[in-house]
Amino acid sequence: MSPKEATRIDITEATFKDPLEVIKNLSANFNISYTKVIQTYVMEDRIIDLVLEKEGSAYFKGKIVWIGNRKDDTEGTIFCVQTDSDLKKINPTAENTEKVILDKKKAIVRISTEAKAKCSVCGKNIEIFDDVAGCPLCEAKAHKDHLFDWIKMKNSCPVCKKRLSLSSTGQIIID
């Protein structure tokens, strides 16, 4: 392994799988302390930065505050990141992320983003900051609020047209 490879670790698969896999990678490479609160790993020191890049240039940077799993129980990791002005949730998925690299030398998680999926309701790109929801039958993806509004109005999926509704706990259910 060349020195360059040793300082850049590909954690794309870990990120798509589970926050625990991400924490394992971070713990193996940095002296971090965290507290596990239910399914969320809260950083005690915000020593790791997260940078979003598009075609090699950075367009977003912040400090990782916590790492958690998706509320809808699908696989994957959410990063909550503190910027100068606010907290942002980053949702890397196979549809918006090319690669997640751990830059060991600079203590940065670098996410190369690319919006590959379009919302099946509004037709716009699904970006990494967007909350995403999907049809449980055909797996069409959409901005979460757009899909929920659509289901409330039409009681169906915008793509496969099968009957859907929302449970009182905010899950999409098959009628």
User: Residues in the site for Zn ion, rule: CB under 5 A?
Assistant: 119, 121-122, 135, 137-138, 140, 143, 146, 157, 159-160
| Least distance (Å) between residue 152 CB and Zn ion | 14
| Least distance (Å) between residue 134 CB and Zn ion | 8
d(C-alpha 110, C-alpha 98), whole Å: 11
Nearer to Zn ion, 43 or 117 (CB): 117
Phi, psi of 38, deg, nearest 5:
50, -110
Copy the structure tokens of residue 105. Answer: 């030398």
Nearer to Zn ion, 20 or 122 (CB): 122
Nearer to Zn ion, 20 or 137 (CB): 137
Query: Which residues, other chains included, contact 45 with Cβ-Cβ below 8 Å and sequence gap of 6+?
Result: 32, 33
d(C-alpha 34, C-alpha 12), whole Å: 21
Nearer to Zn ion, 51 or 121 (CB): 121
Nearer to Zn ion, 55 or 175 (CB): 175
| Least distance (Å) between residue 169 CB and Zn ion | 20
| Least distance (Å) between residue 92 CB and Zn ion | 19
Cα 83 → chain centroid: 17
| Least distance (Å) between residue 98 CB and Zn ion | 22
d(C-alpha 97, C-alpha 158), whole Å: 24
CB atoms within 10 A of CB 110: 18
